[in-house]
Structure 1
Amino acid sequence: MDDNVTVINHPLIAHKLTLMRRKTASTQKFRSLLREIAHLLTYEITRDLELTTERIETPLEEMDAPRLAGKKLCFVSILRAGNGLLEGMVELLPSARVGHIGMFRDPESLEAVEYYCKVPADIGERRVIVVDPMLATGNSAIAALTHLKKQGARQIKFLCLLAAPEGVAALREAHPDVPVFTAALDERLDEHGYIRPGLGDAGDRMYGTK
């Protein structure tokens, strides 16, 4: 595995992901588990955030206490499924700025088609975490990262729930400077571009649209 690809191996994440994979999981349960996993993934992907110190007064005495330094984070959700991870991440870091990129996958070509983009004007000054539950073919992620770089983003990470080896390889080839973080690396893509064994279509399961 590429050194720039991290599979976040944590018992709580593995357990919750198993519950999500079950085809009997309700829309409510799926959405709730995705939000919970987002908390855990955010904890891991932000380990390298820079800190400074601030002089504060506790109930007992003054101290130099750590706090996040400088311009902080921007989370960019690849619509629509990315919002499932985004909700949990914003709960953990409510001060983060948020951007959205609307993509859909053409069912014939499997290529990504962009229909919307709105990101903070100062995105080039922030650490950017792009989120999408599924890294399947990689086409949507590649297109989103290309667009964000054109907007000035320089410090970018990509976070997903599940990844297929084919999607990881495609993303690493197109954007070798972008670290990839995932909760699990599954076996393969099928002929329809779905991750196997996977968990189905994350957006449909999250919103109950299928």
Structure 2
Amino acid sequence: MLNIVPLSVILLLLSTSGHAQTFDSFYKAKKYLTRQIDPYDTTLYCGCEIKKQGKKLIPDPSACGYQPRKPITRSGKPNVRATRIEWEHIVPAWEFGHQLQCWQQGGRKNCRKVSAKFREMEADIHNLAPAIGEINADRSNFRFGILPHTPYQHGACEVKIDFKQRVIEPPYYARKQIAEAYFYMQKTYGLKLSERQQKLFTSWVK
């Protein structure tokens, strides 16, 4: 069974030590986290090792068995997001953004412009995790849940996504990290969780 990636352990220690690095933009946060990646770090959903290619991060599917759900895009071009690492918001920006007034007046773009709180939330490294770009895209802003009858669609990657229900089931080894990110955002920024979410994430933490 795969362990939670070392990077997540570092971020957890930072969040409880009072010495967490803070940023005022998502771009700066991503740049910082990219520098922190070491050879033992793996992606959140597939457990793929992460390699550095110049300034870029790429997944190594050879050991984890990831296969793109859509290797070719609708335009007939290779799916480049399947070959790169992106920094995923565990609690989607859509989810925490919708709880702010700025989102109702112009969406993410407006929140970035007028809300210091949104910028801080968007750039909080404790809510960011490395994910294969295609998985990040497929997850979108779907809620987490359990999908007993949904098949895997990304090779041996143990993530399930039901596009109709807009639900994603993460691998067992990633659930605690995901739940802790939600509770961190709840405690730090007053993120509102439904009773169903609260119950699910409590069980995942345990």
Verify same fold: TM over 0.5.
Answer: no
Higher helix share: 2
Q: TM-score, normalised by structure 2?
A: 0.29
Bigger Rg, which one: 1
Higher strand share: 1
